[in-house]
A and B are shown apart, each in its own frame.
Chain A
Amino acid sequence: GDSVTQMEGPVTLSEEAFLTINCTYTATGYPSLFWYVQYPGEGLQLLLKATKADDKGSNKGFEATYRKETTSFHLEKGSVQVSDSAVYFCALSDLGDYKLSFGAGTTVTVRA
């Protein structure tokens, strides 16, 4: 079945540091890939997505590229802010199947 493996946390960074969260997946079909973020006290929000190989999703300074050859969708941000402190979830959805398969989540804390 489909599965997502993401880097375990927690991750603690200083402001303006570079952030990478690794995500790899296993899927039977040709999935769409997503990064969701959960800020403290809020629901999950879609951060970015990519639907085909070599697509790059980007939002709020975050980027992730759909790498079919390595089955990866790593999340990166060049300069994090305190407001980026959150739990980040990598997820996939197989073609024609609307349910999401999530990774375990990575807690990121950014210190001023």
Chain B
Amino acid sequence: EAGVTQFPSHSVIEKGQTVTLRCDPISGHDNLYWYRRVMGKEIKFLLHFVKESKQDESGMPNNRFLAERTGGTYSTLKVQPAELEDSGVYFCASSRPSQPYGYTFGSGTRLTVV
């Protein structure tokens, strides 16, 4: 099966601009997660979708971040306006409903805000 696809793989934007990251999960994986690794530190949970519904968004850092999963397929994570501290690698993962720990991660999007 195809893996979890994220794009772009890299993005460099100026402070104050808007960036949208996309994640295409594996077909049939209802669970979709976003994580972020900032400055070589630990990877932190951002939020969890079950189909199109936000199950847990306790890790979203502030209201500059907006995640959507219309139709329960792909998901987007928009940062508006971007700040320097948003730089990092954003990972998406998906899993089947029956295998919540059976994550498949994407390769990540490296975001650099300058």
Contact = CB atoms under 8 A, between A and B. Distances in A.
A57 interface: no
Interface residues of A, number: 22
B103 A46 contact: yes
Interface stretch (A13-21, A36-44, A60-68, A74-82): A36-44
Interface in A20-64: 32, 34, 36, 41-46, 49
Contact of A103 (B4, B42, B91): B42
Contacts of B43: 44, 89, 91, 100, 102, 105
Interface of A: 4, 32, 34, 36, 41-46, 49, 89, 91, 93, 98-105
A36 B45 CA distance: 15
B58 to A, nearest CB: 8
* Interface residues of A, dominant DSSP: strand
Contact of B33 (A45, A89, A99): A99
B73 interface: no
A36 B105 CA distance: 10
B101 A32 contact: yes
Nearest to A3: B42
Contacts of B45: 99-101
B56 A99 contact: yes
